[in-house]
Amino acid sequence: MKKITAALLMVLTVSLLTGCLYPQDQLQQNQLPYEDQIAAVQSAVEKYQSENSGILPIKTKDQDTPIYIKYPIEFNKLKGPYLSEIPGNAYENGGVFQYVLIDVEEKPTVKIFDLRIAEKIREVNIRIRSAGYPPFKESIADNVYTLDYSQIGYDEEPFVVSPYSKQNLPLLISGSGEIFVDYTNDLNIKLQEQEYNLEKGEDIRSILTEDSAFVPAYSTPYTINDKNEPVFMTK
């Protein structure tokens, strides 16, 4: 009994010391989008591309993968001659961010998105599968619906935190059952803050990436209406 007690005390002591000296500090660091880390990865990508006949260090994804999560960076191809270490905030090194490329044809640019968004969507999908069907609530646009979350066990509607405005963004669902984030509020803010040369029918999500390290991950295309307001792009 004394041996068991002593062993438990040792485990608790180590856990407490480790918690004080390492994980909490690392956790905070791994949740911050450091500009110098993104810049270092950008430099590494450019060097890799120039030395590999224009090939980019990206993982292979299906052709129908949404554009803003379609080109995740393959750090195994960069680590060593191009990048001394994988950023601590990258998923591959215990962080919460996925590093991706956008504009791969014209100007490959490193951006990130928060994988906790994917986790929240996965959580909702699990509950929908458990219920056997998505509880559609209201049609708010062509092929865009809200959900009756009370029917899948939620007391309050789930949300994700915007990387742009830090406000809570709702989750919506398509007719085919795809859960996505509604970035309407963030797009509205951008359109009110600055004038853009946009046309109806043009996907306007790129205005969110112009001066931000983040991409609007797990989103659906948006365009503008006659009042220069963001609306869901219908097919």
Q: How much is the pLDDT for 152?
A: 97
Amino acid at 122: R
**87-98 average pLDDT score:** 95
Question: Which tokens hold the place of 178?
Answer: 């795809």
Average predicted confidence (pLDDT) for the chain? 89
Lowest mean pLDDT segment, chosen from 13-27, 139-153, 159-173, 182-196: 13-27
pLDDT digits (tens, 9 = 90+) for 177-234: 999 999 999 999 999 999 999 999 999 999 999 999 999 999 999 999 999 999 999 7
Q: How confident is the model at residue 32 (pLDDT cuts 50, 70, 90)?
A: confident
Distance CA 192, CA 157 (A): 27
Q: How confident is the model at residue 4 (pLDDT cuts 50, 70, 90)?
A: very low
Distance CA 212, CA 215 (A): 8
Residues written for the chain = 235
Distance CA 56, CA 74 (A): 9
Distance CA 123, CA 110 (A): 28
pLDDT at 104 over 50: yes
pLDDT digits (tens, 9 = 90+) for 158-183: 999 999 999 999 999 999 999 999 99
Q: How much is the pLDDT for 227?
A: 94
Break the chain down into helix, strand, coil percent, rounded to 5.
35, 20, 40
Domain boundaries, the chain: 26-113, 116-232
Distances (CA, A) of 189 to 39, 57, 63, 130, 167: 26, 34, 31, 37, 11
Cβ neighbour number for residue 48 with a 10 Å cutoff: 20
pLDDT at 22 over 50: no
**For residues 39 and 8, which has the higher predicted lDDT (pLDDT)?**
39
Close Cβ partners of 204 (under 8 Å, ≥ 6 residues apart): 187, 196, 198, 222, 223, 224, 230
Q: How much is the pLDDT for 235?
A: 65
Q: How much is the pLDDT for 34?
A: 85
**20-43 average pLDDT score:** 72
